[in-house]
Amino acid sequence: MKKRKSFGVKLWLWFVLFSAVIFLVLWLLQTVFLQSFYNDMAIRNVERAVSKMITHASDPDFYEVIDEIAVSNSLLVFVTDTSGNVLYSADEYQRLYGGTKQADDGTDNPYHAGDVMNWEKGALRNLPYSYQMLAKALDEAGTGRVGFITEDNAAYVTGVRLKDEKTLSVSLPLGTVGGTVGILRVQLVWVSVLSLALGFCIAWIISKRFGAPVAQISRSAKQIAEGNFRPELPKGFCTELDELSDTLGETALRLEKAKNTQREFLANISHDLRTPLTMIKGYAEMVKEISWSDTEKREKDLDIITREADRLTALVNEILDFSAMQANDMPQEYGVIDLSHAVREVIWQFAPFCEQNGFVIETEITDSITVSADEAQIRRVIYNFIDNAVNHTDDSKKIKVSLTAANGSARFEVTDYGKGITDEDLPYIWDRYYTARNRKNKAAVSGLGLSIAKEILAAHRAKFGVDSKDNCTFWFELQVCPNVPA
């Protein structure tokens, strides 16, 4: 069943169907409708020929014009008087018997309407049986010109009453196409059989040619799904499939990178979660078995347990918050906030850490810059940027925080003086679970800090990025709000 639905089989079937439709239309046109088309075209040609004869009816060479038109259009033409006496006749065989006889007047004309042809008299031929129908139709019409197909569908007859009391009768056989139809049918049988056989072969070749790269791409996609992120992808067949191969290859590389990043994250998070859990368990057992009766020792051990529990809670909350942001379940409360004040308060949160570990935070903060934002979430972005800088600065343990306003935008920057971000790491620093390998601080870092910052800034429609040339600077920009809160 799958093979029947394959790209190659479907392409082959559509090509065969297309060929069948073409030949069906050709059969209908060349056999079934050929007579109708022939009749319509023949009638139009006859009417045009009659109109041309009428325009030359008063010319001295009127009969010569009739001869020329009769021969070139395969017409049978009669010019008669009002009594039906033949004054002139012409047909397509005119030149074979040396011209048409002409009677100067009706008295010298040995043939009248309905007479039997007698070539021994050497005069004009007799009128066809349709002449009586034509004469009757002209009398009844009163328009001076009529045209009709005979009852046996053998000929088209048209006639005109000329100004000099003459009648122009023109007829054309319509049954001559019958023999042509028979010949065409025989031809079409052979042409159809040979063409369809050739079409099947061509369709099969085309389906194989087009189906092969598609099947290869399908197999490569299955290999990617099974964990092979470097499959062989076909190239060179056509632009669209080359682009599909490039896209699939890029997707495979991203999947490989995501899998490696996730594996690294699981290793990091397992280590980071195991460490506080181990310490909590160890110090709890120590309190229970050793320091329970020693008040001072017990208090120190309990402080360590509390600190490690807080650390574990922070890690778990960070993971839960990021999941909520991904699911758009994180509520946002926008308002006008003093960004300058918020930055200073976040920096103040790092004061004990900096004092204890010897870090220095240089500041350049413009006062009273207000923006419209969710204050708690923007504070979190500021905190994550500063925390990231602390983890990656050099041995000088110095970072710089600045907040300025220009052209209606507030720009926040955090600069560390570490080695910067490598070209290999730069495209992935905002990815979840990603942590650069050269971080200085080995404290619990889940790799979600910058990802959370990215989600928050994207929700605020803020501009953000990182510049990593001489130093590494993370930044974001928000539109300044003119309404300063009271």
Are residues 446 and 367 part of one domain? yes
Q: Write phi, then psi, for 117 (nearest 5 degrees).
A: -65, 135
pLDDT (tens digit per residue) in 85-106: 888 888 877 665 555 445 444 4
> Which residue type does 264 have?
E
- CA-to-CA separations, 287 to 219, 291, 313, in angstroms, rounded: 61, 5, 21
For residue 186, being part of any structural domain is answered with yes
Are residues 362 and 275 part of one domain? no
**Which pLDDT value is given to residue 478?**
92
Task: Categorize the per-residue pLDDT at 443 as very low, low, confident or very high, splitting at 50, 70 and 90.
Answer: very low
* pLDDT beyond 50 at 76: yes
Are residues 475 and 341 part of one domain? yes
Domain stops at, among 299, 326, 353: 326
**Which pLDDT value is given to residue 341?**
92
**Greater confidence, 434 or 111?**
434
Are residues 283 and 206 part of one domain? no
Q: What is the pTM of this model?
A: 0.43
Residue 125's CATH number: 3.30.450.20
Task: Categorize the per-residue pLDDT at 410 as very low, low, confident or very high, splitting at 50, 70 and 90.
Answer: very high
Residue 390's CATH number: 3.30.565.10
Distance CA 179, CA 190 (A): 18
**Which pLDDT value is given to residue 131?**
84
Task: Categorize the per-residue pLDDT at 120 as very low, low, confident or very high, splitting at 50, 70 and 90.
Answer: very low
Task: Categorize the per-residue pLDDT at 225 as very low, low, confident or very high, splitting at 50, 70 and 90.
Answer: confident
Distance CA 402, CA 220 (A): 50
**Which pLDDT value is given to residue 110?**
43
Q: Which range scores top for mean pLDDT: 78-82, 134-138, 340-344?
A: 340-344
**Which pLDDT value is given to residue 67?**
86
Are residues 256 and 245 part of one domain? yes
For residue 234, being part of any structural domain is answered with no
Maximum distance among all alpha carbons in the chain? Answer: 159
Q: Write phi, then psi, for 242 (nearest 5 degrees).
A: -65, -40
Are residues 299 and 247 part of one domain? yes
For residue 1, being part of any structural domain is answered with no
Are residues 64 and 158 part of one domain? yes
* pLDDT beyond 90 at 272: no
* pLDDT beyond 60 at 413: yes
**Which pLDDT value is given to residue 437?**
42
Domain count, the chain: 4
For residue 232, being part of any structural domain is answered with no
Domain stops at, among 326, 356, 383: 326
Lowest mean pLDDT across 163-177, 178-192, 472-486: 178-192
Are residues 304 and 270 part of one domain? yes
Q: What residue numbers bound the domain in which 271 lies?
A: 239-326
* pLDDT beyond 50 at 228: yes
For residue 486, being part of any structural domain is answered with no
Pairing of strands 472-479, 409-416: antiparallel
Are residues 415 and 391 part of one domain? yes
**Which pLDDT value is given to residue 115?**
46
With a pLDDT cut of 90, the percent of the chain lying above it is: 7
With a pLDDT cut of 70, the percent of the chain lying above it is: 73
Q: Using H for helix, E for strand and C for coil, what is the string for the chain?
A: CCCCCCHHHHHHHHHHHHHHHHHHHHHHHHHHCHHHHHHHHHHHHHHHHHHHHHHCCCCCCHHHHHHHHHHHHCCEEEEEECCCCEEEEECCCHHHHCCCCCCCCHHHCCCCCCCCCCHHHCCCCCCCCHHHHHHHHHHHHCCCEEEEECCCCCEEEEEEECCCCEEEEEEEECCCHHHHHHHHHHHHHHHHHHHHHHHHHHHHHHHHHHHHHHHHHHHHHHHHHCCCCCCCCCCCCCHHHHHHHHHHHHHHHHHHHHHHHHHHHHHHHHHHHHHHHHHHHHHHHHHHHHHCCCHHHHHHHHHHHHHHHHHHHHHHHHHHHHHHHHCCCCCCCCEEEEHHHHHHHHHHHCHHHHHHHCCEEEEEECCCCEEEECHHHHHHHHHHHHHHHHHHCCCCCEEEEEEEEECCEEEEEEEECCCCCCCCCHHHCCCCCCCCCCCCCCCCCCCCHHHHHHHHHHHCCCEEEEEECCCEEEEEEEEECCCCCC
Which has the closest alpha carbon to 126: 68, 169, 173, 155? 169
For residue 450, how many other CB atoms are within 10 A of its CB?
24
For residue 230, being part of any structural domain is answered with no
Are residues 469 and 368 part of one domain? yes
Lowest mean pLDDT across 241-250, 358-367, 378-387: 241-250
Residue 269's CATH number: 1.10.287.130
For residue 432, how many other CB atoms are within 10 A of its CB?
21
* pLDDT beyond 80 at 458: yes
**Which pLDDT value is given to residue 344?**
92
Distance CA 135, CA 113 (A): 11
Task: Categorize the per-residue pLDDT at 8 as very low, low, confident or very high, splitting at 50, 70 and 90.
Answer: low
Degrees to nearest 5, angle at CA 329 with 324 and 335: 110
Distance CA 125, CA 481 (A): 108
Are residues 444 and 373 part of one domain? yes
Q: Which range scores top for mean pLDDT: 184-188, 198-202, 348-352?
A: 348-352
Compute the average pLDDT of residues 197-217.
73
pLDDT (tens digit per residue) in 16-36: 777 777 777 776 666 666 667
Contact at 8 Å (CB) between 135 and 84? yes
* pLDDT beyond 70 at 452: yes
For residue 136, being part of any structural domain is answered with yes
Compute the average pLDDT of residues 411-427.
82
* pLDDT beyond 90 at 306: no
Q: For all residues of the chain together, what is the average pLDDT?
A: 76
Domain stops at, among 286, 303, 326: 326
Are residues 362 and 257 part of one domain? no
**Greater confidence, 261 or 253?**
253
Task: Categorize the per-residue pLDDT at 390 as very low, low, confident or very high, splitting at 50, 70 and 90.
Answer: confident
**Which pLDDT value is given to residue 101?**
47
**Which pLDDT value is given to residue 316?**
73
For residue 439, how many other CB atoms are within 10 A of its CB?
14
Q: Which range scores top for mean pLDDT: 286-295, 371-380, 432-441?
A: 371-380
* pLDDT beyond 80 at 280: no
Count of residues making up the chain: 486
Contact at 8 Å (CB) between 184 and 33? no
**Which pLDDT value is given to residue 34?**
65
Which structure tokens are listed for 447? 């790799």
Bridge partners (DSSP) listed for residue 79: 88, 168
